[in-house]
Structure 1
Amino acid sequence: MRTPGLHIFGMVFAPCGLVLDLTSTVAPNWRVLSNIPNQAPDMILQQGIWDICQASTITTTVTCSQPDTTYFSQQIIPVAKGLMIASLLVTLLGIAVATFGVRCWRDRPNWIIAGIGGIFIFLSGVMTLIPISWYTHIITTIPSVTVTPSIAAGYCIVLGFIGGIMEVLSGSALIIGMCSCCGGWNRGETRSNIKTTYFRNTQGDTVGIWPINYYWLRRQSSAIPCSCFSNDKQALCLTSELIRGRGFFILVVKH
């Protein structure tokens, strides 16, 4: 059985979201201040949740560790620090758990374990979107010692939004696989349209045919030896085989 599409989607988007969130967390570019009074026209301030850097629009010189106790004393800053770090840790935990559920070294995936990992990844995406959205909402009202008429969102906000959404989508994909729905379509399975059939053979035995999961049967041999259980009155013989590319259990009740 090939790796289900939901698992491929989840295990690709989760690490990508982790990298984007990590960049958004450590980079000092949540807010950009320009047109600063009494400063050179090309000078800008890049404010993050850990540091503030002074840069220029015409040179590559960047000077960090700029003091601004007013900015760092705002409530959004410690909240953003805590949630962003927690998001990174929960994402790593979710990816680790989901890895044990995804079929990489076994025949079939463990949908429950992968889904539990998806729950962690989904929560990590939510923890990223909360501080990013809050900061964006109050971006023009966060006080600072620098008075400037030009305030713009930095690239960390964009990366944080993209990373958080990717983690939410990744976690959702893994969670969806926990329940078998849509005839198994969400798990890459196909529904069998063959109904249970009963008939009597020439020896008078009652035979019942039940469709089973084709993907499970593909891992078995084309004809599994019959296992018989006998008692004083009858013997039940259970076997399975492939019929036109579909799997069936055939139960023969011998009189």
Structure 2
Amino acid sequence: MPLPSTQEWIRMSQRTPGILIFGMVLAPCGWVLDLTATVAPNWRTLHAVDGRPTDQIIQQGIFDICLATSTSTDQNCDEEDQIYFDNELIGIAQGLMVASLVVTLIGLAVAIPGVRCWKESPNWVVAGLGGILIFISGVLTIIPISWYTHILTELATAVTTTDVRVGYCIVLGYIGGIFEILGGFVMFIGICRCCGGKNRGERRVDEVLPPQRSPPPPSLNRIRTPTPSVPYSKDSLDDDVSFPRAKTPPTRGPQINHSFNGRPYDADL
């Protein structure tokens, strides 16, 4: 019994597949947002700090602390708060955020040669590996952001306050991490062909090409002799007639009686 033949697939367009475009757009956007969340000193803000002016705000990040006021745009950074930086989460968040930025760059460097839209077909394995790295970088961002949000008001600091608010870095970190997770996951889907090949922009060859027609069966009719190309001769037409022929009219002139057997006389001469 013959084994079934392997399905053949064909690309319907030379364009870069949509899943790769989706991942290659979201990953750099997420990286920029994560970079901003890492270096900006605004993971949380402290308002109504004891012993300070009411309009003064303390902005705390994972690498820096700044003083700002609600009445001006001036900021004074490089503030000292060793108690805040001694929190276990701060050191972990610093390492994870930096690692996320590095892994995202590595993932993009791996994915770009795999996408290679200038060739006939992408290298789905290489592009998928790049997607995995981008996905991991998003997870590395979400972990410290979520942890920091969970214990936002419990982090120790050198000042006393009862008004602790979430900073914009938390929002940017969430958005950037989700972008990287979605982009990396979608790119990874290209490793396996699914949804009838639509994720790769492919279709089965037998669905694109018309079905091959089987040759007609041999004819069972009797072989007829070919019709002669030479016209019929007059004699053959005379021999084969299917209707009575008209009699030939008698020729004019003296008629001779051939049935007479007597001797001729002189009067006859």
Normalised TM-score (structure 1): 0.76
Matched, 1:21 2:41: no
Mark the CA change 1:161 to 1:188 in structure 2 (over 3 Å): closer, same or farther. same
**Alignment match, 1:163:** 176
Q: What is the deviation of 1:49? A: 0.4
Counterpart CA distance in 2 for 1:2 and 1:13 is: 18
Residue of 131, 136, 141 corresponding to 1:128: 141
Counterpart CA distance in 2 for 1:42 and 1:48 is: 20
Q: What is the deviation of 1:7? A: 0.6
**Alignment match, 1:48:** 61
Counterpart CA distance in 2 for 1:81 and 1:189 is: 43
Count of residue pairs brought into register by the alignment: 204
Amino acid at match of 1:113: V
Amino acid at match of 1:112: V
1:106-154 CA-to-partner distances (Å, cap 9, x unmatched) read 1211111000000000000000000000000000100111110100110
1:73-101 CA-to-partner distances (Å, cap 9, x unmatched) read 00000100000000000000000100001
For the pair shown, the structure with the greater C-alpha radius of gyration is 2
Counterpart CA distance in 1 for 2:212 and 2:201 is: 26
Counterpart CA distance in 2 for 1:195 and 1:143 is: 72
Residue of 132, 136, 142 corresponding to 2:155: 142
Counterpart CA distance in 1 for 2:132 and 2:41 is: 30
**Alignment match, 1:235:** none
Amino acid at match of 1:82: G
Matched, 1:37 2:50: yes
SS in 2 for 1:46: strand
Counterpart CA distance in 2 for 1:95 and 1:201 is: 57
Amino acid at match of 1:97: V
Once the two structures are aligned, what percentage of the paired residues are identical? Answer: 55
1:197-242 CA-to-partner distances (Å, cap 9, x unmatched) read 5734689xxxxxxxxxxxxxxxxxxxxxxxxxxxxxxxxxxxxxxx
Counterpart CA distance in 1 for 2:137 and 2:169 is: 17
What are the ranges of 5 or more consecutive residues in structure 2 without an aligned counterpart?
Answer: 1-13, 219-269
Normalised TM-score (structure 2): 0.72
**Alignment match, 1:153:** 166
SS in 2 for 1:53: strand
What are the ranges of 5 or more consecutive residues in structure 1 without an aligned counterpart?
Answer: 204-255
SS in 1 for 2:51: coil
Matched, 1:181 2:194: yes
SS in 1 for 2:214: strand
After TM superposition, the structure 1 = structure 2 runs for residues 53-202 of structure 1, keeping only pairs within 5 Å, are 53-191=66-204, 192-193=206-207, 199-200=214-215
Counterpart CA distance in 2 for 1:176 and 1:195 is: 30
Determine if contact 2:15/2:117 at 8 Å carries over to the other structure.
Answer: no
1:22-54 CA-to-partner distances (Å, cap 9, x unmatched) read 000001000100011121111000000001000
**Greater strand content:** 1
Counterpart CA distance in 2 for 1:3 and 1:37 is: 58
**Alignment match, 1:4:** 17
SS in 1 for 2:46: strand
